[in-house]
A and B are shown apart, each in its own frame.
Chain A
């Protein structure tokens, strides 16, 4: 390695010396001096380009990371709240929708639903109930049945969309007739006449309650209604 090459290498990188370079330096005091000069100039340059580092910088850098992390966490919770709000909104919407679907049910539709619900059991319970049994239940609706021309075969409370009502099945000469006693304050829209393929029904609003009669034959309904109005009295 000639002297020019030695200097060239030292000027290129005075910090990472090869074994060959180090050996060369030890042998040649001039090269050693040159190496020192190069390092000295570098040291000067470093000094010139070393402004005092602001003391607050390190803390600012640590703090900024902390803030960024907090912001991300905050954003996470904000998203969570937004999600919860969406779910609540949807739930509210669904609830409204269900009220819209079922809330419009009328007295007739509800009565028919009850009739169909009890239909399969009707024919197994043909034992006549005593008048006092029936009257004890009717008493809750301020009503009373005087001696009847027909027998009551079924009497039980039922729920007319939140309104406690009485479900009666009476046996007339023409067949079975279902009677509902529904208090006046209820959530259903009143329907005087209603029917489907099998049953037909009539509703009468008295001053205390609504009487709904359902039967599969028109004449049963007609006769049953007359008998019922004759025998059923509401207390004043």
Chain B
């Protein structure tokens, strides 16, 4: 066979693969972009940076989409990329951790002022947790990951993750009941 014919044949063979890749990418965007954005907001505390971070994450995911072998692990894979990208962001510029723009984490549009107040209280409590406790909890609640997946994402063993999840919820409950007791007293 002539070289130009073989060349054409391989090009034709590649096309369905390309389509497949594009299709998987679109699936990844549709299914996971909202959860990734929420997690990104939690990590960055800024809507603009969070959006950039999600875009960087998906660009990196597209470049290495061939490495994704299992659709079932796609979400954890994307979260790992996002965490890495976030770490890179800290490397690039000595980003100061700030408690700014907390409010952006709240969905302010459909709540009453009372609800908003209690939500803000809750957010404060979550942020008052040690990061090592809040981190697995957020991954479980927003990401919907299992203990094993969280262990893998955070490079911890399962027992440690379970302990931290337990302590996170326990501390949070204690803080909230303490608050409500205080409020009752005040009231």
* Interface, chain A (partner B; CB < 8 A): 8, 11-13, 15-16, 38, 41-42, 44-54, 57-58, 60-62, 64-65, 68
By secondary structure, the A interface counts as helix
Contact partner of B107 (CB less than 8 A), chosen from A8, A41, A50, A62, is: A50
Contact partner of A57 (CB less than 8 A), chosen from B26, B54, B170, is: B54
Contact segment of B3-11, B85-93, B138-146, B179-187: B138-146
Which of A11, A44, A61, A64 has the largest count of B CB atoms less than 10 A from its CB?
A61
Whole-angstrom CA separation of A38 from B170 in the bound complex: 10
Q: Quick one: which of B116-171 are within 8 Å of A by CB? A: 119, 122-123, 126, 137-138, 140-142, 144, 146-147, 162-163, 165-166, 169-170
Whole-angstrom CA separation of A42 from B141 in the bound complex: 7
Whole-angstrom CA separation of A181 from B167 in the bound complex: 110
A61 and B119 form a contact (CB under 8 A): no
Contact flag A44-B122 (CB < 8 Å), given A16-B146, A61-B58, A64-B59: yes
How many interface residues does chain B have, given as a range?
A: 35 or more
B55 and A46 form a contact (CB under 8 A): no
B105 and A61 form a contact (CB under 8 A): no
A53 and B165 form a contact (CB under 8 A): no
Ordered nearest first, which 6 A-B pairs have the shortest CB separation?
A: A11-B169, A12-B166, A53-B34, A61-B29, A12-B162, A11-B166
Query: Does B178 sit at the interface, judged by CB under 8 A?
Result: no
CB contacts (< 8 Å) of A16 on chain B: these are 146-147
A58 and B51 form a contact (CB under 8 A): no
Contact flag A49-B42 (CB < 8 Å), given A11-B170, A61-B55: yes
- What is the chain B residue whose CB lies nearest that of A42? B141
